[in-house]
Amino acid sequence: MKKCLWVALIIFLWGRPLVSQAPFVVVIDPGHGGRDTGAMGYQGMREKDMVLILSKMIARQIQKDLGAKVYFTRSSDQYLTLDQRNQSAIQKGADIFLSIHLNASKNKDVYGVETYYLDVATDEASQRLAMIENRAGRVKYDTTEAVLSAMIQQASTVASRDLAHAIQDRLLKRLNNKMPESDIKNLKVKTALFQVLVGTKCPGVLLELGFITNKKEAKLLRTQSYQTQIAVGIADGLRFYRNLIDRPRTNL
Ligand SMILES: [Zn+2]
């Protein structure tokens, strides 16, 4: 009888599919760093410093809420090229790539949050923004090359679009439900040729989490309560997206 149980156990284990739930891997890219300060904002706020703070909070939230494995392209005030950033998504086997940025405008009244995925630019403003964010890239990175790379990336485009909508929707819902007084403007999901999103080989988005040139938004971004809501909103979006695509991943 005992022998029969052992045989049954061996048959059971032998017959099990060798599939397990691999960890969900997220690579977070805090924009700019080192000699590249990014945008300069209200009362000397520097984009590179604020995105690093936000990225670390987002990482903690994603680890906590999704049990995801999170890597950073940079975790200190370090200069990286845009290609080093997107290559890190490949090296870490990322399921998702998030590039974290803050916006700036000559018009200090402009504020709001927007999410980008890689495709030809939605409008002139998006094109201008991509040109600014692409400054840390190769010196001669012409539009044709960018379009070609974007086309190669096309397989990820639909997934990146879904990811962008999942994050933008949940993030804005979160901010406006939990902090209605902040009245954060939904600048929606847009597209542009951001070099940092080219070649990641996984769905990726670039988040512009507010205008540091706007007094109200810059002040909010300094508060821990607002930073927390941003982190929770992004984690909500990622959870929604993961449920959309969820299927067992194989370790083999
Ligand atoms: Zn930036």
Domains of the chain: 23-245 (3.40.630.40)
Tens of pLDDT along 143-170? Answer: 656 665 655 556 678 899 999 999 999 9
Distance 250 CA to ligand 1 centre (A): 35
Band of pLDDT at residue 119, cut at 50, 70 and 90: confident
Helix, strand or coil, per DSSP, at residue 246? coil
By CB atoms closer than 10 A (0-12, 13-18, 19+), residue 140 is exposed
Residue 140 has pLDDT above 60, yes or no: no
Q: Provide the 10 A C-beta neighbour count for residue 98.
A: 27
* Range with top average pLDDT, 1-5, 98-102, 116-120, 195-199: 98-102
Residue 249 has pLDDT above 60, yes or no: no
Mean pLDDT along residues 225-245: 96
Band of pLDDT at residue 251, cut at 50, 70 and 90: very low
Band of pLDDT at residue 180, cut at 50, 70 and 90: confident
Mean pLDDT along residues 114-143: 81
Distance 59 CA to ligand 1 centre (A): 18
Determine the pLDDT at residue 236: 98
* pLDDT mean across residues, the chain: 88
Q: What is each CA distance from 18 to 23, 25, 106, 175, 245, in whole angstroms?
A: 15, 20, 56, 42, 20
Distance 209 CA to ligand 1 centre (A): 10
Distance 7 CA to ligand 1 centre (A): 61
Band of pLDDT at residue 222, cut at 50, 70 and 90: very high
Residue 248 has pLDDT above 60, yes or no: no
Distance 127 CA to ligand 1 centre (A): 13
Distance 12 CA to ligand 1 centre (A): 53
